Amino acid sequence: MRVSNPYRPGFNQSPAVLAGRGEITEAITEAFHVAALDGRTPRPILLAGSRGVGKTVLLERARQIAAEQHAWISVSVEVHPGRPFTPVLLARLAEAAQLYDQAPPNRVDWRATKATITASLAGIGGQAEFTRAAAAITPREEELETALKSVMKAALPLDAGLLLTVDETHLATEDELASLAALLQDAVTKQWPFVVVLAGLPSMQDPRRMVTYLERGEWHNVGLLASTDTHEALTGPAAAAGRPMDQDAADYLTTASGGYPYAIQVLGHHAWRASSNADQISLTHARDGDHAAQRDLAAGLYSARWKDSSEREQEYLAALARLVIAGGHPIGADVARTLGQRPSAVTYLRARLLQKGTIYTEGRALRFAVPGMAAWIDSQPLD
Ligand SMILES: Nc1ncnc2c1ncn2[C@@H]1O[C@H](COP(=O)(O)OP(=O)(O)O)[C@@H](O)[C@H]1O
Ligand SMILES: [Mg+2]
């Protein structure tokens, strides 16, 4: 019997097992308790991390907690480059107010799935309308406050509140972030049950751009998974789907993934496919799956990261890749030497690549987020 593949390769796909994020989900759960039980507005939660570490799925988890544990409605916005998110946020808040207005007084009757409203700017209006909206926008603090007030007016008699999630926050302008911060400060004064979770690339932590109020929020770095958590993320879905993964297969895939959540799902997916005729996933299946997964990652992740790097950054990556393949634990000074430069002359490259999440440090050693990227870079024709 064909069992469908339990891994979820690709962005915005919630994994079957959300491994290694206990601390963050607890922080989110706690924020709901503060809002729903203590009657205070919790500090905003901010999730910063590079692409593919699982920020968006954590926002989804927050919406799930809101709906399932508290029967709260969620409003979600995703920021897109060069477009304001406030118009959509206003529209979604109005919808949320309406939903609460229409809700049966007994919240036990609600269906959890109905308690989520997701908005993406792309879905609304046309491109032309957006350009006009963009030109017309000024920070609309009062409008936002009025809109949130309507939601609260409808929610409070039901003993409910509101979750707001904002994804790709690093793309938001300072003006819009300032309006959002003002909205939150207003909610704090009124002690509204309002939980806010923001996610974005590490660049959103830049103090020159981040508004002070949000800076004082509760920050969490979303990073690579530890190896025990990676193991769990790999073995959990297979076991639940009835085709368990052997220990050595899981060890092999754990190493290959580097603990990078996106790669974990791609590797799991291909190992599952490679084992379609078996009743468990063996080391051989893991190896075969790894080959297919590396092709998959090369076409997507590796080349995207490579193209996203400047010429200097590419030189840095190529030098690092050579050193890694030669089998050592290169540190920044080794890469500089290979490039024939003083370390201080190339630390900015190291810093940029770390910020993007293409590489990371383990002690002083530099590593690729996904180990296979070193071999891929090394196999690239030089031009
Ligand atoms: N904690 C986790 N355990 C296992 N897989 C995860 C975890 N978090 C995310 N993933 C997987 O990683 C991929 C990227 O997740 P996503 O939330 O889109 O990342 P981001 O928003 O940070 O770019 C998805 O395939 C998802 O299933
Ligand atoms: Mg995302």
For residue 312, the domain's CATH number is: 1.10.10.10
Domain presence at residue 68? yes
Whether 15 maps to a domain, the answer reads no
By residue range, what is the domain housing residue 291?
228-262+269-300
Quickly tell me which residue has 């590419």 as its tokens. Answer: 314
pLDDT of residue 106: 61
Structurally, how many domains does the chain consist of? 3
Q: Write the DSSP symbol of residue 75.
A: E
- Ligand 2 centroid to 167 CA: how many Å? 7
Which of 47, 57, 297 is the best mutation target for the ligand 1 pocket, counting ligand atoms within 8 Å of the beta carbon and taking the most? 57
Which residues in the chain land under pLDDT 50? 111-137
Q: Residue 12 region, left (φ>0) first, then alpha (ψ -120 to 50), else beta?
A: left
- Residue 247 shares a structural domain with residue 232: yes
Give the pLDDT score at 141.
78
Residue 163 three-state SS = strand
Regarding pTM above 0.85, the answer is yes
Residue 63 CA to ligand 1 center (angstroms) comes to 16
Q: What's the gap in Å between 52 CA and the centre of ligand 1?
A: 6
Does 91 fall in a domain? Answer: yes
| 155 and 290 fall within a common domain | no
Residues 167 and 94 in one domain: yes
19 Cβ inside 6 Å of ligand 1: yes
Look at residue 41 in the predicted model and tell me its pLDDT: 96
Backbone angles phi, psi at 46, to 5 degrees: -120, 125
Best substitution site from 76, 169, 262 to test ligand 1's pocket, by max atoms within 8 Å of Cβ?
Answer: 262
- Cα gap 267→234, rounded to integer Å: 9
Tokens 């509760």 sit on residue: 218
DSSP 189-211: HHT--EEEEEEE-GGGG-TTTS-
| Statement to judge: residues 193 and 324 lie in one domain | no
Ligand 1 center from residue 80 Cα (angstroms): 20
pLDDT of residue 121: 30
DSSP 363: T
DSSP 53: S
